[in-house]
Chain A
Amino acid sequence: MLDHKEDLAVGTFSGNRGLDQEEPPIFEIGRPETSGVDMEEPAHFEPRLGGLERERPIGLPGVSEPEAMRHYVRLSRKNYSIDAGLYPLGSCTMKHNPRLNEKMARLEGFADIHPLQPQSTAPGALALMEELSRWLLALTGMSAIALSPKAGAHGELCGLMAIEAALEARGEAETRKTILIPQSAHGTNPASAALLGFRPRAIEAGADGVVSEEAVAKELGPDVAAIMLTNPNTCGLFERNVVAIARRVHEAGGYFYCDGANFNAIAAIARPGDMGVDAMHLNLHKTFSTPHGGGGPGSGPVVLSERLAPFAPVPFLSRDGETIRLVEHREGAQSFGRLTAFHGQFGSFVRALAYILSHGSDGLAQASRDAVLSANYLRAALRDVMTQPFGDRACMHEVLFDDAFLEGTGVTTLDFAKAMIDEGYHPMTIYFPLVVHGAMLIEPTESESKRSLDLFVATLRDLVASAKRGETDRFTRAPRLAPRRRLDETAAARKPVLRWSGA
């Protein structure tokens, strides 16, 4: 074991530490005259740029192909990844990303087709979009789908716009400006509502971590446009009053937006359509395994209830006998308009459909059950040493702990997370949801073997015991074995350096 009181700064001449190699910014490697792309200079011609030719140098460095390879491979090795280890970020669903998905998305007939080529030359692409739609509608029990939203937060905009369009059609858009949002919601929920001019109003969850019918009922009124509820919620719990809440909201003239970030717990098990949901986004980059790519691209299709279906954005698919057509303009319909250029994250559609077809309906249900089973296994294996904010009860696909078990140790949730890095794990989601003190939200997903889960449990138990023994240096000085120690975020924000400006 490490002596945690010792620092590990090993001085080497190069700054490298074995396989952990230092890599300067590309601007300190490349030269403007170098290029790693061979191309013939075009024969002489008269430019037609209308006198707008660039005159000053750009300053962009170029590198040869081997230099590029080495630069980016070295950078890649400074990242944690699902492929390398358990990535228990709660609410992020970091599951295995099958390479079959990547292979399919790269088929020439998918990767090399243009969104504006004649539809008659892309019937296979439209068929793929229709097949994905069929699956997503069946899994959610909803009536219509908008495929175009680019990510979850963009899907929230889509759903809220459909709701506002429906309110406009009822003549109530000016009066219904309030959106009810539990305090445990993702930050995107209030941000999306505010962006569209709605007033977010917080609702409280009960001591059991879920929203009660009464808590919603007392906030309802003629000013309420909708409720935005995440189900399963960010505390890892199924909102068990969801049906009653939906009924109350509908009776009061409002709509029910569901944040579908946590759909991985219930895919092929329970249908949002049966719960009274009017609009919900699905994160294809979570539940349906399209890779997260270090922060994107995502893909956030939105499913809609019958009441909201007429207001779906363009483009949408329409079938006429054997022919599938992509409707790109409103054509006098009630569609609320367009959310993005073109048709959405088609490359993600291919990947998601490859994942869905591989599982089939039976496999999707098994995956959901395994995700929930694994989270509960972690809960059961850790509940005697870590503390749960809402008592010991079954969770969905993620398990939430608070920092009560660290009280008096001098170790914070952040320290605990950083010590996990030294043990070779990506930390769980920390300090979220905001309603739980020092929150640690763990989502193992269905992709972990029992052996992997057991090793994770053993590691966390060792860390807890160590914190309780007073070995605070193991935590407060962590990480020491990562490519970097803790970074000075205060300095970064105080004097922002957002671009390279010289060695």
Chain B
Amino acid sequence: MRYLPLTQADRAEMRAVIGVGDVDALYADVPAELPLAPSLDLPRAKSEMDVERLLGEMARRNVPASRAPFFIGAGAYKHHIPATVDHLVQRSEFLTSYTPYQPEIAQGTLQYLFEFQTQVAMLTGMEIANASMYDGSTACAEAALMAHRITKRRKAVLSGGLHPHYAEVLRTISHFAGDEIVALAPDVRAREDIAAMIDDSVSCVIVQTPDVFGNLRDLASLSEACHRRGALLIAAFTEVVSLGLVTPPGEMGADIVVGEGQSLGNPLSFGGPYLGLLATRQAYLRQTPGRLIGETVDAEGRRGYVATLSAREQHIRRDKATSNICTNSNLCALAFSIHLSLLGEAGLRRLARANHASAVDLVDRLAGVAGVETLNESFFNEFTLRVPRDAAGLVEDMAEAGVLAGVPVSRLLPDAGLDDLVIVACTEVDTVEDREAFIAALRGAL
């Protein structure tokens, strides 16, 4: 087996040193009633070529985003990733290192995480950020738990514009943790009155912008309403590229900002691995979940970095920890950080404008299609379309015609009675021809 360096002769010599005749003698503690090395009805070892053949066949049965005009978003987005990013994240020293427990020989990881934390704080308009969570949805749940600890209250109010998967994750964890959730009805046109839901028992209000239907939301007055009642405002986003163009949550008074960072540096990969971003105020530092990297000096006075404030974390504090998270999304954070360093502020703003322009162009074209209606007054690169038939069937029909058109709202909210809505996303990868193909396929499917 190509991955195993020990030869039969090595194994025999090693057994002799240990003093056992058979390696299975080392499994003597396995209770006798258990079958040892049971015969499993599973295939035997395969060569590299055979594995490639087998997995290659599976891969070819899927339609990749790059092979069709592509307009699917709703929490994960198709963007161009510079070749440099994928090369660098495959450097041995990044790919095959562990969590930086020995900082003297992990300065590469620690410094890029310090840079990542800074970039996330800058983008969101917040004071500090952690070194990443699993993804946007789990970061959002962690933010609610964090708000509960800070406010010593246990009720979260969820906007009807929050991604339904995020809301479901929150609902699941809150149910088991014994916390209360008040979820507003799906709010397609961003007209809900969340402020009316805030009373003295509310720990936090969670609002997404751009929301799952694509609407941009001004959070300034809502943050004031939250703070008047001692509640925190948690702002969520699923499309981090939007922050290149729109007012960041930190400038609108958010207390905790969470989001999905996949759009920068990370492929779609059927839903994961992605990376959760979490940023907050310095004052809430000690209630922040996950790893934090801090600057310090070494014994020679040289600048260096360490994982810090670990008294918050499970490996030190165990059942009193701020979270149970251990492994996070380091390598995805590196991809994010490299992509963002390449873009820089000018590049990010340009990328964001290209995304917005692409969506504006498609919305303008849709105005000429009878029977469909764009519901958004504002949007970044995603919007919701009302169609005169079931959206799920329409999306299937458009896929048959070679266009991956969007996410039917019924896929996310099967019982909401919103079966005629589809969420459509545009990014810099769409061409004019792609948008023309969208319109043609849409007309054909109506």
A and B assemble together: yes
Task: Tell whether, in the assembled complex, residue A37 and residue B343 are in contact, meaning their CB atoms are under 8 Å apart.
Answer: yes
Q: How many residues of A contact B (CB 8 A)?
A: 210
Task: Tell whether, in the assembled complex, residue B129 and residue A499 are in contact, meaning their CB atoms are under 8 Å apart.
Answer: yes
B43: min CB distance to chain A, Å = 5
Tell me, in angstroms, the Cα distance from A96 to B75 when the chains sit together: 33
Is B95 on the interface with A (CB-CB < 8 A)?
Answer: yes
When the two chains form the complex, which single residue of A47, A361, A427, A486 contacts B298, counting CB atoms closer than 8 Å?
A: A486
Report the 7 A-B pairs with minimum CB-CB distance, sorted nearest first.
A62-B344, A50-B378, A109-B59, A342-B271, A293-B331, A115-B271, A124-B61
- B69-99, CB under 8 A of A: which get 1 and which 0? 0101011101000101010111111111111
For B23, list chain A residues within 8 Å (CB): 369, 372-373
Task: Tell whether, in the assembled complex, residue A353 and residue B399 are in contact, meaning their CB atoms are under 8 Å apart.
Answer: no
A162: min CB distance to chain B, Å = 10
Comparing B50-58, B192-200, B221-229, B434-442, the segment that makes contact with chain A is B50-58
For A23, list chain B residues within 8 Å (CB): 111
Task: Tell whether, in the assembled complex, residue B269 and residue A111 are in contact, meaning their CB atoms are under 8 Å apart.
Answer: yes
- A81-95, CB under 8 A of B: which get 1 and which 0? 111100101001010
Task: Tell whether, in the assembled complex, residue B92 and residue A151 are in contact, meaning their CB atoms are under 8 Å apart.
Answer: no
When the two chains form the complex, which single residue of A191, A313, A427 contacts B323, counting CB atoms closer than 8 Å?
A: A191
Task: Tell whether, in the assembled complex, residue B55 and residue A104 are in contact, meaning their CB atoms are under 8 Å apart.
Answer: yes
Given known contacts A75-B107, A492-B296, A496-B308, A41 and B353 CB-to-CB distance under 8 angstroms: yes
For A479, list chain B residues within 8 Å (CB): 104-105
Is A223 on the interface with B (CB-CB < 8 A)?
Answer: no
Task: Tell whether, in the assembled complex, residue A62 and residue B347 are in contact, meaning their CB atoms are under 8 Å apart.
Answer: yes
Of all chain B residues, the one with the shortest Cβ separation from A163 is B176
When the two chains form the complex, which single residue of B35, B38, B344 contacts A60, counting CB atoms closer than 8 Å?
A: B344
Task: Tell whether, in the assembled complex, residue B82 and residue A36 are in contact, meaning their CB atoms are under 8 Å apart.
Answer: yes
Task: Tell whether, in the assembled complex, residue A269 and residue B129 are in contact, meaning their CB atoms are under 8 Å apart.
Answer: no
Of all chain A residues, the one with the shortest Cβ separation from B170 is A338
Of all chain A residues, the one with the shortest Cβ separation from B72 is A114
Task: Tell whether, in the assembled complex, residue A292 and residue B115 are in contact, meaning their CB atoms are under 8 Å apart.
Answer: no
For B112, list chain A residues within 8 Å (CB): 72, 75
Of all chain A residues, the one with the shortest Cβ separation from B269 is A347
When the two chains form the complex, which single residue of A116, A192, A337, A417 contacts B171, counting CB atoms closer than 8 Å?
A: A337
When the two chains form the complex, which single residue of A78, A139, A266, A346 contacts B111, counting CB atoms closer than 8 Å?
A: A78
Task: Tell whether, in the assembled complex, residue A35 and residue B344 are in contact, meaning their CB atoms are under 8 Å apart.
Answer: yes
Is B163 on the interface with A (CB-CB < 8 A)?
Answer: yes
Chain A interface main SS type = loop
Task: Tell whether, in the assembled complex, residue B65 and residue A114 are in contact, meaning their CB atoms are under 8 Å apart.
Answer: yes
Is B121 on the interface with A (CB-CB < 8 A)?
Answer: yes
For A46, list chain B residues within 8 Å (CB): 360
Task: Tell whether, in the assembled complex, residue B44 and residue A25 are in contact, meaning their CB atoms are under 8 Å apart.
Answer: no
B257: min CB distance to chain A, Å = 14
Is B287 on the interface with A (CB-CB < 8 A)?
Answer: no
Task: Tell whether, in the assembled complex, residue B267 and residue A112 are in contact, meaning their CB atoms are under 8 Å apart.
Answer: yes
Tell me, in angstroms, the Cα distance from A449 to B300 when the chains sit together: 37
Task: Tell whether, in the assembled complex, residue A77 and residue B93 are in contact, meaning their CB atoms are under 8 Å apart.
Answer: yes
A50: min CB distance to chain B, Å = 3
Task: Tell whether, in the assembled complex, residue A63 and residue B296 are in contact, meaning their CB atoms are under 8 Å apart.
Answer: no
Tell me, in angstroms, the Cα distance from A207 to B244 when the chains sit together: 60
Which of A78, A94, A344 lies at the interface centre, i.e. has the most chain B CB atoms within 10 A of its CB? A78
Task: Tell whether, in the assembled complex, residue A25 and residue B115 are in contact, meaning their CB atoms are under 8 Å apart.
Answer: yes
Given known contacts A53-B246, A240-B30, A353-B55, A84 and B306 CB-to-CB distance under 8 angstroms: no
Is A377 on the interface with B (CB-CB < 8 A)?
Answer: yes
Of all chain B residues, the one with the shortest Cβ separation from A347 is B269
